[in-house]
């Protein structure tokens, strides 16, 4: 028996057959005439509605937030949390399945995967669903695997005072090529290669105490950490072997070879390639690998923040190495290489524009500077980094100049009060110092914070950039028109979602003199400072993550198509009901946030 | 008028007074959507194989409170009827004789109006059994979905308009998703969906658009 209830439609596809039958048996069908309010905002609901035919508008006061169509369901908040987030009004003659609240609650209590759909928190919902999706692709094990599942060997401990000969024997007996060395309070690691180099290359006597050749800068992970965290750590530190702790004591090692079989790609090997590159050509090979790596990790279902972190780490290494290779001594002596914009925030995923600059502590020969500017930006062009459309590049003298000049420039921008000037300030504010005289950037930023302190009008101007783009609702006419092929319902995820969040948080950070650059860290600092309550902060960051995730997917798609056109466009009509639901929640969070920023900085006054 | 007289006559001649409830005033706002699957279209010889009755109360199709039964036919179903409703002999193992099913069905329906697509056929089929087994007729008011549809769609149509009252065409026109047809519950649910929408159109004074573009090909009438 079926009354047309589609059990393949998420989230019902997470129910067992018997649970589906139970649900079907309890379900009625309701008819709603156009204009009829099905669930009122702030009210509980006795049913979970699943649209059979027709269209239902989700309205927030007067604003239309979205249009739900067949297979969409509403409203989990009214059902589980007792108060609908929006008014749900039939837009056409509409039929809905009516699943009684008690039935849904019973299934939620029994079935965790089904329950995930009803989480109030966007990010938990997203995670639960993306995990379930990955599970179908068979990649779940990689994400869930922990260090203890992949580590090998028992730990061999050697006293720091024993000779390297004894150490070598102990390692051979333990059948391992790495051992922990205890030396008083410290613990270090020595490898077979360290011993061999000591004897063969440095010609140290065999009775040299092993502590002399031991590394005491251990990079360690816990055996309960996820494997991808270990991968991240290897990538960041350029290590191919990590020490593993168990209950606070060292228990063994995790080597890159233990990960190779599990993770596609080789991000832990790329740092070595970057560091070993002897010229720009060799570096270009490593640069290509970074790009490939992103795609592999994404396919494997890696979380978007982790991908962003790995990419960011690798790119930074790449820039540092390039700087070392092409900067003349005068610039290496005086300069501070900075990354700005999304690179600075560590939020780029697929290779984005070159957003970089150079601050100088003093004057350097003009010829050196000219050579460096061209060599650095030119090499990045060659690596496939698209030039920055706003020309925020070392190549542009505006962005590679003495720190004093930059402070003057910033002051001029502050006074200029144009959107372009505000954007330049924003880009600079996201800057991080990569190498060289890193204190220069901190000093320059401190000067900027000083300029803005207490300047409500200036901050308002700066905040006003958030009004550059509207945050649309899903649907309105769009989804309907798109569904009949009349128009495109594409949403520019960068303009509608990412920019308002990034810029709003950035404005708050500027006001409070917060030096962190990533949006998540800035938000954490703002929550600590009491500017936002924790829950709101989490919602904002979750929404940001949702957008980043969608953006990454569409960017990868654009890379595959070989065209950057439309790389941040999202088409709700082509998404699944659950994805649309998550997107709708996230866009609502952005609109709330925009209101907060608008009120706080009175952006409407401009 | 004639109906009223018939009702009076039936009521008076009711053999089993246990079925007097059929003549109670119907509860307001309630109807029952009814559908029977049969071995064929001849109401005098064909047999009922499955019955579904779904209450519709205040705009709600109460599928959760539906009545559903398979009926054991006296003769084995023919190959032709199996093709239509796909109930095979072995599907009917759970079936019960009509003499057990019918009293339950009548109690379920009560005095509520009966709704359906070509409902006269279903009621005539049931009446044959009812007369034979219980010496009663179903006196319930009948609501024909296709007439409502005709009224909203072709009520003021110029002469010569091609009239298409097929169940599938009507559902498509109303935008109602087509469940698998010739399953009694599905047919009853779809008829109820169509009825709710058509009733609403009547209340709001709205009519269905006729497509002019379509060629006037002769569309077959009937079930």
Residue A430 is part of a domain; what is its CATH number? 3.30.460.10
Instruction: Please say if the pLDDT value at position B108 is more than 70.
Output: yes
Provide the pairing of β-strand B30-38 with B114-116. Answer: parallel
Tell me what pLDDT residue A134 has: 44
Give the minimum alpha-carbon distance from A107 to chain B in angstroms, rounded to a whole number. Answer: 17
Rounded alpha-carbon distances, angstroms, from residue A590 to A123, A309, A469, A586: 14, 24, 12, 6
Closest-CA residue of chain A to B174? A93
Give the minimum alpha-carbon distance from B125 to chain A in angstroms, rounded to a whole number. Answer: 23
Tell me what pLDDT residue A473 has: 59
Q: What's the pLDDT tens digit per position in A146-168?
A: 787 777 667 888 999 999 999 98
Instruction: Please say if the pLDDT value at position A266 is more than 60.
Output: no
- List the CATH number of the domain containing A104: 2.60.120.10
Pick the most confident of A182-186, B80-84, B108-112.
Answer: B108-112
Q: How high is the mean pLDDT of chain A?
A: 81
Q: Encoding tokens for residue A446?
A: 């401190």
Q: What's the pLDDT tens digit per position in A10-58?
A: 788 888 888 888 898 899 999 999 889 999 988 889 999 999 988 888 8
Cα distance between residue A472 and residue A591, in whole Å = 9
φ and ψ of A118, to 5 deg: -95, 5
Instruction: Please say if the pLDDT value at position A128 is more than 60.
Output: no
Residues A421 and A479 grouped into a single domain: no
Instruction: Please say if the pLDDT value at position B221 is more than 60.
Output: no
Residue tagged 């935008």 (tokens): B175
Q: How many CB atoms lie within 10 A of CB A504?
A: 25
Percentage of residues of chain A with pLDDT beyond 90: 20
- Chain A CB contacts of B53 under 8 Å are none
Residue A126 pLDDT grade (very low, low, confident, very high; cuts 50, 70, 90): low
Q: What is chain A's alpha carbon radius of gyration, rounded to the nearest angstrom?
A: 28
| Class of residue B77 by CB neighbours under 10 A (exposed 0-12, middle 13-18, buried 19+) | buried
Cα distance between residue A412 and residue A406, in whole Å = 10
Length of chain B as a residue count: 223
Contact between chains at A93 and B193 (C-beta distance less than 8 A): no
Tell me what pLDDT residue A481 has: 43
Q: Does B192 touch chain A (CB under 8 A)?
A: yes
Contact between chains at A3 and B64 (C-beta distance less than 8 A): no
A382 SS3 class? helix
Cα distance between residue A152 and residue A261, in whole Å = 14
Residue A137 pLDDT grade (very low, low, confident, very high; cuts 50, 70, 90): very low
- Chain B CB contacts of A32 under 8 Å are 59
Q: Encoding tokens for residue A178?
A: 């790495």
Judged by average pLDDT, the poorest of A286-300, A476-490, B15-29 is: A476-490
Residue tagged 């009937």 (tokens): B222
Asked if the structure places residue B135 within a domain, the reply is: yes
**Mutation target among B60, B64, B86, B189 for the A interface, most CBs of A within 10 A:** B64
Name beta bridge partners: A180: A157, A189
- List the CATH number of the domain containing A194: 3.10.580.10
Residues A195 and A320 grouped into a single domain: no
CB A381 within 8 A of CB A387: yes
φ and ψ of B129, to 5 deg: -65, -40
Contact between chains at A3 and B189 (C-beta distance less than 8 A): yes
Residue tagged 């409407």 (tokens): A604
The three-point CA angle A89-A92-A95 to 5° equals 85
The three-point CA angle A331-A333-A336 to 5° equals 65
For helices A403-416 and A439-452, angle between their N-to-C axes, nearest 10 degrees: 30
Cα distance between residue B1 and residue A348, in whole Å = 80
Residues A466 and A594 grouped into a single domain: yes
Residues A30 and A60 grouped into a single domain: yes
Rounded alpha-carbon distances, angstroms, from residue A430 to A154, A342, A343, A356, B1: 45, 7, 8, 11, 86
- Chain B CB contacts of A2 under 8 Å are 179-180, 183, 186
Residues A383 and A434 grouped into a single domain: yes
Domain boundary among A100, A117, A134: A117
Asked if the structure places residue A85 within a domain, the reply is: yes
Tell me what pLDDT residue A286 has: 82
Asked if the structure places residue B88 within a domain, the reply is: yes
CB A315 within 8 A of CB A352: no
Asked if the structure places residue A585 within a domain, the reply is: yes
- List the CATH number of the domain containing B115: 3.30.420.10
Contact between chains at A26 and B179 (C-beta distance less than 8 A): no
Rounded alpha-carbon distances, angstroms, from residue A458 to A443, A445, A602, B186: 21, 16, 11, 66
Tell me what pLDDT residue A27 has: 93
Asked if the structure places residue B195 within a domain, the reply is: no
Among A2, A28, A70, beta carbon nearest to B60: A28
Instruction: Please say if the pLDDT value at position A223 is more than 50.
Output: yes
Instruction: Please say if the pLDDT value at position B80 is more than 80.
Output: no
- Domain range for B49: 2-145
| Mean pLDDT within A191-196 | 86
Residue A604 pLDDT grade (very low, low, confident, very high; cuts 50, 70, 90): low
Residue tagged 């509608």 (tokens): A496
CB contacts < 8 Å between A and B, how many? 63
For helices A534-561 and A304-326, angle between their N-to-C axes, nearest 10 degrees: 70
| First vs last C-alpha separation in chain A | 62
Residues A487 and A442 grouped into a single domain: no
Please identify among residues 32-61 of chain B the ones whose CB lies closer than 8 Å to any CB of chain A.
Answer: 59-61
Cα distance between residue A143 and residue A146, in whole Å = 8
Residues A361 and A438 grouped into a single domain: yes
CA atoms within 13 A on the CB side of A41: 12
Cα distance between residue B171 and residue B195, in whole Å = 10
Closest-CA residue of chain B to A52? B177
Rounded alpha-carbon distances, angstroms, from residue A131 to A305, A306, A402: 15, 15, 49
Provide the pairing of β-strand A356-360 with A400-402. Answer: parallel
Contact between chains at B189 and A1 (C-beta distance less than 8 A): no
Q: What is the pTM of this model?
A: 0.57
Residues A466 and A600 grouped into a single domain: yes
Residues A231 and A181 grouped into a single domain: yes
Asked if the structure places residue A393 within a domain, the reply is: yes
- Domain range for A431: 305-446
Instruction: Please say if the pLDDT value at position B216 is more than 50.
Output: no
φ and ψ of A501, to 5 deg: -70, -50
Tell me what pLDDT residue B210 has: 77
Q: Does B172 touch chain A (CB under 8 A)?
A: no
Provide the pairing of β-strand A73-74 with A47-53. Answer: antiparallel
φ and ψ of B147, to 5 deg: -70, -40
Domain boundary among A446, A470, A502: A446
Residues A360 and A494 grouped into a single domain: no
Cα distance between residue A568 and residue A574, in whole Å = 15
Cα distance between residue A284 and residue A300, in whole Å = 25
Q: Encoding tokens for residue B140?
A: 């319930």
CA dihedral A76, A78, A83, A86 (to 10 degrees): 80
Among B177, B201, B203, beta carbon nearest to A53: B177
Give the minimum alpha-carbon distance from B180 to chain A in angstroms, rounded to a whole number. Answer: 8
Asked if the structure places residue B188 within a domain, the reply is: no
Residues A89 and A153 grouped into a single domain: no
φ and ψ of A52, to 5 deg: -95, -50
Domain count for chain A: 4
Asked if the structure places residue A456 within a domain, the reply is: no
Q: Does B209 touch chain A (CB under 8 A)?
A: no
- Chain B CB contacts of A29 under 8 Å are 60-61, 63, 189, 192-193
All residues at 6 or more sequence positions from A150 whose CB lies less than 8 Å from its CB, including other chains: A227, A230, A254, A258, A259, A262
What are the start-end ranges of the E strands in B72-120?
114-116
Q: Encoding tokens for residue B79?
A: 């190959």
- Chain A CB contacts of B62 under 8 Å are 28
Residues A190 and A85 grouped into a single domain: no
Asked if the structure places residue B10 within a domain, the reply is: yes
Asked if the structure places residue A288 within a domain, the reply is: no
- B52 or A293: whose pLDDT is higher? B52
Contact between chains at B185 and A70 (C-beta distance less than 8 A): no
Residue B214 pLDDT grade (very low, low, confident, very high; cuts 50, 70, 90): very low
Q: What number is the ipTM of this complex?
A: 0.82
Cα distance between residue A530 and residue A449, in whole Å = 19
Asked if the structure places residue A555 within a domain, the reply is: yes
Tell me what pLDDT residue A399 has: 92
Tell me what pLDDT residue A409 has: 93
Domain count for chain B: 1
- A604 or A319: whose pLDDT is higher? A319
What are the start-end ranges of the E strands in A62-107?
63-68, 73-74, 87-90, 94-100
Region of residue B59 (phi > 0: left; psi between -120 and 50: alpha; otherwise: beta): left
């Amino acid at each position: 028996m079926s009354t047309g209830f589609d059990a393949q439609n998420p989230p019902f596809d997470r129910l067992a057959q018997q649970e589906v039958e139970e649900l079907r048996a309890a379900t009625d069908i309701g008819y709603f005439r156009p204009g009829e309010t099905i669930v009122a905002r702030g009210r509980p609901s006795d049913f979970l509605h699943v649209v059979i035919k027709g269209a239902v508008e989700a309205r927030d006061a007067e604003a239309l937030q979205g249009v739900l169509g067949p297979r969409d369901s509403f409203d989990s908040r009214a059902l589980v949390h007792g108060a609908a987030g929006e008014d749900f009004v039939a837009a056409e003659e509409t039929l809905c399945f009516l699943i009684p609240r008690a039935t849904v609650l019973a299934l939620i209590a029994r079935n965790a995967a089904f329950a995930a759909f009803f989480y109030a928190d966007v990010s938990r919902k997203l995670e639960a669903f993306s995990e379930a999706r990955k599970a179908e692709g068979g990649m779940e094990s990689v994400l869930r695997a922990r260090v203890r599942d992949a580590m090998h060997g028992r730990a061999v401990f050697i006293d720091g005072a024993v000779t390297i000969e004894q150490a070598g024997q102990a390692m051979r007996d333990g059948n391992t090529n790495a051992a922990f060395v205890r030396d008083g309070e410290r613990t270090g690691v020595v490898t077979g290669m360290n011993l061999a180099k000591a004897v063969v290359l440095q010609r140290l006597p065999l009775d040299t105490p092993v502590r002399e050749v031991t590394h005491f800068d251990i990079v360690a992970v816990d055996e309960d950490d996820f494997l991808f965290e270990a991968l991240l750590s290897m990538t960041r530190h350029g290590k191919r072997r990590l020490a593993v702790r168990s209950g606070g004591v060292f228990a063994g090692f995790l080597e890159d070879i233990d990960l190779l079989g599990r993770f596609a790609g080789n991000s832990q090997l790329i740092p070595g390639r970057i560091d070993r590159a002897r010229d720009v050509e060799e570096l270009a090979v490593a640069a290509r690998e970074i790009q490939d790596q992103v795609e592999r990790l994404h396919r494997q279902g890696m979380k978007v923040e982790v991908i962003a972190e790995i990419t960011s780490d690798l790119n930074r290494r790449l820039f540092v190495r390039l700087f070392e290779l092409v900067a003349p001594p005068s610039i290496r002596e005086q300069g501070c290489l900075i990354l700005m914009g999304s690179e600075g925030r560590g939020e780029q995923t697929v290779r984005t524009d070159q957003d970089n600059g150079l601050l100088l502590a003093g004057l350097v020969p003009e010829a050196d500077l000219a050579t460096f500017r061209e060599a650095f930006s030119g090499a990045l062009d060659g690596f496939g980094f698209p030039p920055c459309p706003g020309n925020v590049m070392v190549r542009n003298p505006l962005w590679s100049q003495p720190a004093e000049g930059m402070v003057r420039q910033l002051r001029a921008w502050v006074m200029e009060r144009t959107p372009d000037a505000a954007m330049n300030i924003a880009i600079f504010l996201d800057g991080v110092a990569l190498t060289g005289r890193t204190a220069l950037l901190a000093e320059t930023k401190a000067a900027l914070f000083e300029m803005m302190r207490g300047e409500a009008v200036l901050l308002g101007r700066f905040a006003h950039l958030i009004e550059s783009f509207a945050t649309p609702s899903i649907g309105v006419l769009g989804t309907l028109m798109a569904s009949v092929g009349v128009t495109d319902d594409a949403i520019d995820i960068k303009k509608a979602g990412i920019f308002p969040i990034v810029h709003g948080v950035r404005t708050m950070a500027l006001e409070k003199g917060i030096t962190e650059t990533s949006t998540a860290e800035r938000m954490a600092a703002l929550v600590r400072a009491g500017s936002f309550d924790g829950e709101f902060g989490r919602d904002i960051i979750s929404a940001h993550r949702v957008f980043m995730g969608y953006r990454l997917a569409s960017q990868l798609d654009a890379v595959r198509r070989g065209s950057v056109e439309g790389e941040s466009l999202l088409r709700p009509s082509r998404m699944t009901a659950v994805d649309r639901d998550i997107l709708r929640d996230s866009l609502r969070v952005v609109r709330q946030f925009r209101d907060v920023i608008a009120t706080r900085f009175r952006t409407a006054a401009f | 008028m004639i109906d009223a007289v018939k009702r009076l006559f039936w009521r008076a001649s009711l053999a089993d007074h246990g079925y007097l409830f059929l003549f109670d005033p119907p509860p307001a706002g309630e109807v029952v959507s009814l559908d029977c699957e049969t071995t064929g279209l001849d109401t005098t010889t064909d047999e009922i194989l499955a019955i579904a009755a779904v209450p519709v109360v205040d705009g709600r199709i109460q599928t959760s409170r539906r009545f559903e039964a398979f009926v054991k036919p006296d003769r084995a179903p023919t190959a032709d009827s199996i093709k239509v409703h796909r109930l095979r002999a072995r599907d009917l193992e759970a079936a019960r004789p009509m003499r057990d099913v019918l009293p339950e069905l009548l109690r379920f329906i009560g005095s509520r109006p009966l709704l359906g697509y070509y409902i006269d056929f279903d009621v005539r089929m049931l009446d044959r059994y009812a007369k034979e087994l219980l010496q009663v007729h179903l006196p319930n008011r009948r609501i024909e979905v296709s007439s409502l549809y005709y009224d909203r769609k072709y009520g003021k149509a110029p002469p010569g308009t091609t009239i298409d009252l097929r169940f599938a065409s009507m559902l498509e026109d109303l935008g109602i998703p087509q469940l698998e047809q010739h399953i009694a519950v599905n047919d009853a649910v779809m008829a109820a969906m169509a009825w709710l929408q058509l009733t609403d159109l009547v209340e709001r004074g709205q009519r269905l658009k006729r497509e002019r573009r379509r060629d006037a090909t002769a569309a077959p009438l009937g079930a």
